[in-house]
Amino acid sequence: MSTPEIHVLPASLRNQIAAGEVVERPSSVVKELVENSIDAGSTQVDVAVDRGGQGIISVKDNGHGVAADELKLAVTRHATSKISNVDDLSAITSFGFRGEALPSIASVSRFKMSSCRKDADEGWFIHVEGGDVVEEGPAAIPGGTSVEVRDLFFNVPARLKFLKTESTEARRCNQVMFKIALANVDAGFSFTSNGREQFRLPAGQSLPERLAVFWPRNICESLLEFSHEAGEMKVHGCAGIPGLAQGRGDRIVMFVNGRPVQDKLLLSAVRGAYKGRLISREYPQAVLFLELPPELVDVNVHPAKLEVRFQDERAVFGIIRNGIGQALSRYELGIVEGESSFDGQPEIPVRPAAQEKKLSESVSLPIEPAAKFSSWNEFKNTDFTALDDEPEVRSTACASDFTEPAGFSPSPTAEQRSESDMVHERPMDYRAEDVRIPDPKPQQLPTSATGPIYVPGSRIEYLGQVADTYLVLKLPNGSLGLLDQHAAHERVIYENMRSLRTRGESRPLALPIDLVLHPSEVQRVQEMWEDLQAAGFMLELESGQALSMRGIPPGLETGEAREYLKAAVDGQAKTLEDLWIMLSCKSAIKANLALAVDEALSLLEAWVKCPQREYCPHGRPVLVSWSALEMEKLFKRK
């Protein structure tokens, strides 16, 4: 058998190979051509497709155009006006820069490009079929560029087999236009499919105005705007409230320096900001713009430039999570503390820092209602059987149901929290007491059976319990709230664990408890060793596979500690936080348990002081509410 000789591929074949990387489907053509229009300084871009882009793709713009003597270079591989030397690769600010898009598109289609410089007397066109120039000459065209791509993949029939239906391909072209339009609100765009205009966006719109064309109204009206800076990086955009999360992640749109990307790191940061607010199968809505110096990001790692690589991934992750997290925290404070005007949609309580400072300085604290017990410990240690003057019938639940056997504190002090935890929980140092709405009537709030019963430390009114599971509340803004007692208690226990069980305090055991581990469990223990020690476990690993527990966290019984450790080593939880979530669920009061008024108030008092109190540690909602307008709609009064 003869050995094939090494030879140079023909130009047409080289272009088709390159096209396989750049031109995957019609939407890829739309993306490359429209990005070229943006790079050309266009303020209006009109796109039309026929048969999902398989018939014709037309892109017209009013940019600065291409000179007549440069049109042939424009369809030549590796010819570009956007980079000149190696140093330019580390500071790329344009969208298209490789000089591959136009020749790649022209090699697999019947391609015609007409352009006129604004300072030129006439325009010029070039016609290319399958990579070969077949015609060129003068063209009557105003300033700007017009590109027509017909019969895409006419000479590569194998590629046509992998295209979806025409409607699906047209929808993908629409999505490409949607993303580019979000990143360039100063320019106008239109998109037409099969002769029918799908949308027309005027130049100068705001981001919410553009989103309203594509997303449902209720989502757009409840978006939280955010902006956060750290060093040379800045992140801004809009994030949806957790209550409107969905089962798909198609409404998470991310941009890096104006370029739409699909990046796992950015997606992980967005979901990290919602951690504890959504269950694992839910996705929020978010439009995220990350801006950073071009030398800190490599955009040349993917042929279609859909993926990027960051120099400092940790900093990128942190700025995104903190930026979205701050907006969510302020929104949640507004719901419970009464800063929302529920006239159909919540008013987004996101203010500039200067206004927040002014608010905290000017707002006077309300006079708190007279509590039946001066503290949690007093309530916990009270013998209810001795209180014969109580009119209500008490349940079998006792104070210990609300807490762990020892050392529980529903509202840890600032000294008990580590500085890092405080920053994580309240990134902008917003405290509940700083944003309370002052009582319009400066008098003692009644708590007797003949008057409103207020939750101590807040202006939330307790109305009762239904189904032995849900606490009925009147929120400060006048809306009706239902609180899941199990989910609320989970949040209370979890926050206590976070604040008190990361200091390494331990209670020695008189007799160590030994566990025999599987080799895979040994590795898992080694990975979590520092976290377990910080939680208060005194451990020794003997003879490779024997784990000896010589001390346990304060507040845990020996049996609970053994179960807790076993869950860590057998993979039920991957991190210490997962273990806290699991244990808080097991320790919390359950549904179908009747609560006395004092028990309900004590739970609510502890819950109100928790950060992220709107959601349990699993991400399920703790509180749902209905405004007066929403209740009127339920009863068809409006």
Q: From the CA atom positions of the chain, what is the Rg in Å? A: 31
Q: Are strands 110-116 and 144-150 parallel, antiparallel or unpaired?
A: antiparallel
Q: Among 118-122, 168-172, 622-626, which range has the highest average pLDDT?
A: 168-172
State how far Cα 471 lies from the chain centre: 30
CA 630 to chain centre: 27
**CB neighbour list of residue 264: distance below 8 Å, 6 or more residues apart:** none
pLDDT digits (tens, 9 = 90+) for 304-328: 667 788 999 999 999 999 999 999 8
Q: Calculate mean pLDDT across residues 441-446.
A: 41
Q: Which two tokens stand for residue 97?
A: 């820069």
11-200 has CATH 3.30.565.10 classification = yes
For the 215-337 domain, the top CATH level (class) is alpha beta
Give the DSSP H or E segment for 195: none
Judge whether residue 429 has pLDDT over 70: no
Q: Is the pLDDT of residue 369 over 50?
A: no
Q: What is the pTM of this model?
A: 0.61
| Residue 238: band (very low, low, confident or very high) from pLDDT cuts 50, 70, 90 | very high
Residue in 435, 476, 480, 456 with CA at minimum distance from that of residue 623 = 480
What is the predicted pLDDT for the residue at 559?
82
Q: How far apart are alpha carbons 504 and 554 in whole angstroms?
A: 10
Please answer whether residues 589 and 401 qualify as being in contact, where contact means their C-beta atoms are separated by less than 8 angstroms: yes
| CATH number 3.30.479.10 given to 372-638 | no
What are the start-end ranges of the E strands in 222-262?
224-230, 233-239, 252-256, 259-261
Which has more pLDDT, 524 or 444? 524
**In Å, how far are 332, 412, 601 from 608, measured between CA atoms?**
11, 12, 10
pLDDT band at 406 (very low <50, low <70, confident <90, very high): very low
Q: How many residues does the chain have?
A: 638
Q: Rounded to an integer, what distance in angstroms lies between the CA atom of residue 306 and that of residue 299?
A: 8
Q: Please tell me the predicted confidence (pLDDT) of residue 109.
A: 93
Decide: 555 and 406 in contact? Cβ < 8 Å: yes
Q: What is the pLDDT of residues 474-515, one digit of tens each?
A: 998 889 999 999 989 988 888 887 776 555 678 888 888 888
In this prediction, residue 502 carries a pLDDT of 54
Domain spans, the chain: 11-200, 215-337, 372-638
Confidence class of residue 82 from pLDDT cuts 50, 70 and 90? Answer: low
Asked if the model's pLDDT at residue 591 lies above 90, the reply is no
Tell me the C-alpha distance between 375 and 368, whole Å. 13
How far from the centroid of its chain's Cα atoms is residue 119's Cα?
Answer: 46
Q: Is the pLDDT of residue 102 over 60?
A: yes
What Cα–Cα distance (Å) separates residue 572 from each residue in 565, 575, 637? Answer: 10, 9, 50
Distance separating alpha carbons of residues 497 and 303, to the nearest angstrom: 48
Name the pairing type of β-strands 286-291 and 252-256: parallel
Identity of the amino acid at 250: D
Per-residue confidence (pLDDT) for residue 127, from 0 to 100: 96
pLDDT score at 617: 85
Q: What are the strands of the beta sheet with 480-484, ordered from one edge?
A: 453-454, 461-466, 470-474, 480-484, 623-626
